[in-house]
Chains A and B, each alone.
Chain A
Amino acid sequence: DADVTQTPRNRITKTGKRIMLECSQTKGHDRMYWYRQDPGLGLRLIYYSFDVKDINKGEISDGYSVSRQAQAKFSLSLESAIPNQTALYFCATSDPGTGGNGYTFGSGTRLTVV
């Protein structure tokens, strides 16, 4: 099994629908992140979490919310999806004990909002 698992891998949804992207990890890391990737823009940070009780907004958090259900699970929600949220979404974990070295990325979720 992968260290960081994202579900679903692909999703097409309609404008206005609520959708949740899920991320689970077996690395035992406290820190988890959600990024979105758009062509020509690189990856941009949406939210990050230091632990279950610590959630922080990233660069582009508007229109998104997150839930850290457990150390191993970090979900990203789009309350009312819009077409410009069409993107590739990545979850990641990191181990601060390795000085930023220990980043692990999931395989990504490709979301299309029509």
Chain B
Amino acid sequence: AQSVTQLDSQVPVFEEAPVELRCNYSSSVSVYLFWYVQYPNQGLQLLLKYLSGSTLVKSINGFEAEFNKSQTSFHLRKPSVHISDTAEYFCAVCRANSGYALNFGKGTSLLVTP
């Protein structure tokens, strides 16, 4: 079985400060890794993904995540957050031999204040 642990349920941060949202997974085989974002009262949007290749992946709005196989982690970072980054963030993994079903963490609520 595989599981995803998001270590922080809530992360309050001031605008323009850096932020890291932590994600660890457990799996004995190769996985694909994702971060999804859910803005208030909206659906899920893919933020970034790691499938293979470079372990550092970046989104168009300044977020980045690094796949660390030895630590089984996929932490999400942004050097300077904006008010508009306030949202729920979900880490997810999937494996080919589980029907490509996404297994989600419980989510981290990022609250950015002035």
Contacts and interface: CB of A to CB of B under 8 A. Distances in A.
Q: From DSSP, what is the main secondary structure of chain B's interface residues? A: loop
A105 interface: yes
Interface string A74-114: 00000000000000001010101001110101111000000
Contacts, number: 58
Interface residues of A, number: 25
Interface in A13-41: 31, 33, 35, 40-41
B106 A100 contact: no
B15 to A, nearest CB: 25
> Interface range on chain B: under 10, 10 to 19, 20 to 34, or 35 or more?
20 to 34
A58 B101 contact: yes
B29 to A, nearest CB: 13
Contact of A105 (B9, B43, B52, B100): B43
29 contacts: A31-B99, A33-B102, A35-B104, A40-B9, A40-B106, A40-B107, A42-B104, A42-B107, A43-B44, A43-B90, A44-B104, A45-B101, A48-B99, A58-B101, A90-B43, A90-B44, A92-B102, A96-B96, A96-B100, A99-B51, A100-B32, A100-B94, A101-B32, A101-B49, A101-B51, A103-B34, A106-B43, A107-B42, A107-B43
4 closest pairs, A vs B, by CB? Answer: A100-B32, A42-B106, A42-B104, A43-B104
